Amino acid sequence: MSGYWIVRCQYNDQEAFLEYASKASDVVKQFKGEFLVRGGEQFQMENGHYERTVMVRFPSLEIAQQAYDSKAYKAALKIIESNANRDFIITGGV
């Protein structure tokens, strides 16, 4: 079963976001992840508002969790921790 990161986010500092995105992309590649959704036009139908949605598929739920828990991803998170509003889930799927 594949594992997925599903992230809905709004960033307040574009420069920090770009640095984070570069480092997070490296982590996704390292753990054999594939971006399925990465920004783009979206329509908010219910609840909250986020500027961006990202969805990444990993080979398994365990690998998705390992990627999130990795030192490299934790370092990327530090870049945006004070200037982002995010909902982040890890889930299994097909």
Considering only CA atoms, which of 71, 2, 8 is closest in space to residue 32? 2
Q: What residues contact 54, with CB distance under 8 A and at least 6 apart?
A: 5, 6, 7, 9, 35, 37, 38, 39
Confidence of residue 80 (pLDDT cuts 50, 70, 90): very high
Number of domains in the chain: 1
What pLDDT does 50 receive?
82
CATH number at residue 61: 3.30.70.100
Does the pLDDT of residue 48 top 80, yes or no? no
Residues forming beta bridges with residue 88, ordered by sequence position: 7
Domain range spanning residue 83? 2-93
Q: What is the pLDDT of residue 59?
A: 98
Would you say how long the chain is, in residues? 94
Q: How confident is the model at residue 42 (pLDDT cuts 50, 70, 90)?
A: confident
Answer whether residue 43 shows pLDDT above 90.
Answer: no
